[in-house]
A and B are shown apart, each in its own frame.
Chain A
């Protein structure tokens, strides 16, 4: 556990978890390459009509060149090559900052190109990659390194707290606690066997629904629990994301959120040092 007080170790954990997640999602994007053709859902001809930037703008011309089909497929392949350079040791002997900068840019392009179909894991991955880039500009800068870790930890805790807070305002999560069954009952995010199992087990549904709300809303308390108290929250988080991957098919959330856990542990251990003093 003391390893997590080492800033470099925290960033290494963050890097490998997020790279596993984005390599899967990048290969998934490539697998769906046809979606980016002009007669498909992600038609650049349609999406580019949002017109955020003037057509005379250089940025618009550059975006148009990189994001139109088939050039955009090249951007996705480039992203995969960058990931390989970062993952396989010994291939890239220079600073990792330029590679992370390229990853940041490809993430921003994918986000801009996808006005629909993105999810929270894509957003968390982008946040983590930007912080990894800032850290690698000068890994000796301990202030930036620590600020990055605190930023990631607080974004992650904000995400759990926000989800819990808004669930606590929903009738299906609190006064009529059947949200978990209703979600699992859908074909979009659920599973027929699980919904069938839960169908007449109101106690189990209530427990799953209320515990989701309670632990998510209380998750920021992980910062003051110290070790081994933090294991309760982080263990719950790991189980929660594993279940969501298995039952709901939300595979990328697992890696994106696990990438933030090293930062949470670091901040928790830092704070517990203050409590002891």
Chain B
């Protein structure tokens, strides 16, 4: 067996293992999904269950407000997560990325706030990233602290009113 054969078998073996690991991660075969995902630093194990089994049927809204030095709370301001759909968006849709990032971060906080202790989800990347992002907005007056809130609404033709899902503590800016 020469070097070329070893290279061939190695590559074919790697591709086979990668495909197997991908399948295992979709269906959590032998409960190995967590084991594989923990080592997947570069997102090489895909998640193919698009919009399933429960599709996202609500819109998330991210709002924030500041509290000044006199402990007076300002008005809630909304950071838009959804963008207006255009025909050009089928080819060129740069806003999709930042909106998706915001949407993913918000969803992760909502999910983890149910499952984890406050001390755990408040040190998560998504939570810190959101606080960091909101704190960076230019402000007319010096706010002492800021707070964010996540709400959900039920689309263009809603059958019920919006609902609050999560409200953070006040954080120093």
Which residue from chain B places its CB closest to the CB of A199 in the assembled complex?
B157
**Given that A42-B101, A155-B46, A170-B53 are contacting pairs, would A162 and B85 also be in contact in the complex, using a CB cutoff of 8 Å?**
no
Q: Give min CB distance, A17 to chain B, whole Å.
A: 14
Chain A, interface residues (CB within 8 Å), range: 35 or more
The CA of A256 and the CA of B143, in the complex, are separated in Å by 45
A186, B56: Cβ atoms closer than 8 Å: yes
With A and B bound together, what is the CA distance between A170 and B56 in angstroms? 12
| Interface 0/1 of B90-119, CB less than 8 Å to A | 111110111111111100100000000000
Query: Is B8 in contact with A141, judged by CB distance below 8 angstroms?
Result: yes
A188 and B99 in contact, given A166-B49, A179-B55 (Cβ under 8 angstroms): yes
How far apart are the CA atoms of A219 and B155 in the complex, in Å? 31
Option from A119, A183, A186 in Cβ contact (under 8 Å) with B100: A119
Q: Which of A172-207 contact B (CB under 8 A)?
A: 172-173, 179, 182-183, 185-192, 195-196, 199
Question: For window 114-156 of chain B, which residues contact chain A by CB distance below 8 Å?
Answer: 125-126, 128-130, 132-133, 135-136, 154-156
Given A41-B129, A199-B157, A158-B48 contact (CB < 8 Å): yes
Shortest CB distance B53–A (Å): 3
B32 close to A (CB within 8 Å): no
CB of A124 within 8 Å of the partner chain: yes
Q: A212 — nearest CB in chain B belongs to which residue?
A: B51
Known: A24-B91, A123-B43, A196-B157. Contact between A182 and B101, CB under 8 A? no
Q: CA of A32 to CA of B11 in the docked complex: distance in angstroms?
A: 36
Inter-chain CA distance A138–B59, complex, in Å, is 49
The interface on chain B, measured as residues whose beta carbon lies within 8 A of the other chain's beta carbons, has a size of 67
CB pair B44 A116 closer than 8 Å: no
- Shortest distance between the CB of B134 and any CB in chain A (Å): 10
Q: Are A28 and B49 in contact (CB under 8 A)?
A: no
B3 → chain A, closest Cβ, in Å? Answer: 11
Complex contact B98–A182 (CB within 8 A): no
- The verdict on B35 contacting chain A, using a C-beta distance below 8 Å, is no
* In the complex, chain A residues 90-123 whose Cβ is within 8 Å of any chain B Cβ: 108, 111-112, 114-120, 122-123
Query: Which of A166, A183, A192, A254 meets B53, CB within 8 Å?
Result: A166
Q: Which of A5-13, A47-55, A75-83, A226-234 binds B?
A: A47-55
Tell me if B19 and A151 are in contact (CB < 8 A).
Answer: yes
Contact with B along A222-256 (1 / 0, CB 8 A): 00000000000000000000100111111100100
Chain A residue contacts of B58, Cβ below 8 A? 186
Name the A residues within 8 Å of B87 (CB-CB).
246
**Interface contact A195-B125, CB-CB below 8 Å:** no
Secondary structure at the A interface, as helix, strand, loop or mixed, is: helix
Beta-carbon contact of B156 and A172 below 8 Å = no
In angstroms, how far is the closest chain A Cβ from the Cβ of B67? 20
Most chain B CB inside 10 Å of its own CB: which residue of A115, A162, A179: A162
Q: How long is the Cα–Cα vector from A155 to B25 in the complex, in angstroms?
A: 12
Instruction: Indicate whether A32 sits within 8 Å of B98 (C-beta atoms), given known contacts A144-B8, A162-B49, A249-B93.
Output: yes
Within the assembled complex, what's the spacing in Å between the Cα atoms of A115 and B128?
13
Within 123-160 of A, Cβ neighbours of B (below 8 Å) are at 123-124, 126-127, 131, 134, 138, 141, 143-144, 147-148, 151, 154-155, 158-160
9 sample A-B contacts, Cβ–Cβ < 8 Å, listed by A number: A35-B98, A43-B132, A52-B41, A126-B43, A185-B157, A188-B103, A195-B156, A245-B89, A251-B92
A contact set with B: CB distance below 8 Å: 24-25, 27-29, 31-32, 35, 39-43, 45-47, 49-50, 52, 108, 111-112, 114-120, 122-124, 126-127, 131, 134, 138, 141, 143-144, 147-148, 151, 154-155, 158-160, 162-163, 165-167, 169-173, 179, 182-183, 185-192, 195-196, 199, 242, 245-251, 254
